[in-house]
Amino acid sequence: MDKKPLDNGQNRAAQGEAGLHTNFKENMTYGEYLHLDKLLTAQDGLTDHHDEPLFIMIHQVSELWMKLILHELRAAIKNIENDDLQPAFKQLARVSKIQTQIIQGWDVLSTLTPAEYMEFRSSLGNASGFQSYQYRMIEFALGYKTKHVLKIYEKDEELLNTLTDAFHQPGLYDVAIRKLARAGLPIDEEILLRDVSAPYEPNASVLEAWKTVYRDVDQYWELYQLAEKLVDIEDWLQQWRFRHMKTVERIIGFKTGTGGSSGVHYLKRVLDQYFFPELWTLRTEI
Helix or strand (DSSP H, E) at 213:
helix 204-215
Confidence of residue 14 (pLDDT cuts 50, 70, 90): low
The 10 Å CB-count burial string (b at 16+, else e) for 155-189 is: eeeeebeebeebbebbbbbbbbbbbbbebebebee
**pTM of structure:** 0.88
Q: What burial letters (b/e) apply to 232-245, b meaning 16+ CB within 10 Å?
A: bbbebbbebbebbb
**Helices 221-252 + 85-109 axis angle, to 10:** 10
Q: How far apart are CA 152 and CA 139, in angstroms?
A: 15
Burial class (CB in 10 A: 0-12, 13-18, 19+), 8: exposed
DSSP 100-154: HHHHHHHHHHTTS-HHHHHTTGGGGTT--GGG-HHHHHHHHHHT---GGGGGGGT
Q: Binding site for substrate: what residues are annotated? A: 117, 121, 258
Give tens-digit pLDDT for 229-260.
Answer: 999 999 999 999 999 999 999 998 988 867 77
Residue ranges of the annotated binding site are 117, 121, 244, 258
CA distance 177 to 170: 11
From 42-46, 65-69, 180-184, the region with the lowest mean pLDDT? 42-46
- pLDDT of 21: 82
pLDDT band at residue 101 using 50, 70 and 90 as cut-offs: very high
**Alpha helical stretches, state H, 52-112:** 52-81, 85-109
pLDDT at 5: 52
Question: Percent helix, strand, coil in the chain (nearest 5)?
Answer: 65, 0, 35
CA–CA distances in Å: residue 276 to residues 154, 209, 224, 266 = 29, 13, 14, 21
* Position 16 confidence tier, pLDDT thresholds 50, 70, 90: low
Task: Show binding-site residues for heme.
Answer: 244
Q: Which of 19-28, 51-60, 95-104 has the lowest mean pLDDT?
A: 19-28
